[in-house]
Amino acid sequence: MVVGGPAVKLMPDYLADVAHVEPETIYPALAFHNPLATFTSRGCINACPFCAVPRIEGKFRYVNNYIPAPVVCDNNILASSKIRFHEVIDSLLQFPYVDFNQGLEAILFDEFHAKELKRLKGVKVRFALDYTYKAEQVQRAVDLCKAYKLKDLGVYVLIGYKDTPYDARHRLELVRSWGVRPNPMRYQPLNCLHKNTYIENGWTQIELENMTRYYSRLNYLEHIPFKEYKGFKDQRQGMML
């Protein structure tokens, strides 16, 4: 048996006794998973401690001869030079809609990038607010998008990682105050074997589940204040925020 992929790269010794671990493969897995997706670059210039990208993909680099597709999965496409970014946008003009699925780094986003994105027929722009102290950077990027009439915006919000329920909800509501629906991303340790089992100090499982569920369903629940949301209950729910 041969095994590989992102999860295996994170824990290469876990299956070593029962299978041959293949660190790299020429198998076009992305095309089979989603034929509308592409990578124009791999890796990232950052080394965020909660992120698997540096360990899975390594240093930032361009993908030569990438196949243009409307779902762009680059983990930090704004680390590209402006010449390269312009070339990528050129290759995406053929599509009626483009989704920068993995998000754009707010601190690198400037007017040049906003102008380039405006060239597309339609575009989904996503940012991330992992820490409260980065809120000003993200808000600046959101405002810049709005100035260029880029309306389909989203913000990933990491929760349950070195924060508190109060801090997490503050960031989620801050994004809402910008007129953007947040997308809560519950933290998963890089060595976890079971999804949604990690609980940060100061949290409960119920709090994590309620916050994730509510803010992931704002298209249905926006008319209900979070404090009135009747999700899972426990003895601390009335104390949450």
In this structure, the answer to whether residues 6 and 51 fall within a common structural domain is no
Q: How far apart are CA 109 and CA 140, in angstroms?
A: 9
In this structure, the answer to whether residues 228 and 133 fall within a common structural domain is yes
- pLDDT of 39-95, one tens digit each? 999 999 999 999 999 999 999 999 999 999 999 999 999 999 999 999 999 999 999
In this structure, the answer to whether residues 71 and 153 fall within a common structural domain is yes
In this structure, the answer to whether residues 12 and 96 fall within a common structural domain is no
Q: How far apart are CA 163 and CA 75, in angstroms?
A: 24
In this structure, the answer to whether residues 84 and 156 fall within a common structural domain is yes
If one counts the domains in the chain, the total is: 2
In this structure, the answer to whether residues 171 and 79 fall within a common structural domain is yes
In this structure, the answer to whether residues 23 and 41 fall within a common structural domain is no
pLDDT band at 237 (very low <50, low <70, confident <90, very high): very low
In this structure, the answer to whether residues 21 and 75 fall within a common structural domain is no
177 pLDDT higher than 60: yes
In this structure, the answer to whether residues 21 and 41 fall within a common structural domain is no
Predicted TM-score (pTM) of this structure = 0.91
Residue 172 backbone phi and psi in degrees, to 5: -60, -45
In this structure, the answer to whether residues 78 and 128 fall within a common structural domain is yes
In this structure, the answer to whether residues 130 and 147 fall within a common structural domain is yes
Q: CATH no. for residue 84?
A: 3.20.20.70
Which residues have a Cβ under 8 Å from the Cβ of 182 and sit 6 or more positions away?
129, 154, 155, 156, 157, 171, 172, 175, 176, 215, 218
In this structure, the answer to whether residues 10 and 64 fall within a common structural domain is no
- 22 is in which domain, residue-wise? 1-27
Who wins on pLDDT, 30 or 178?
Answer: 178
pLDDT of residue 66: 95
Q: How far apart are CA 118 and CA 89, in angstroms?
A: 10
pLDDT of residue 24: 72
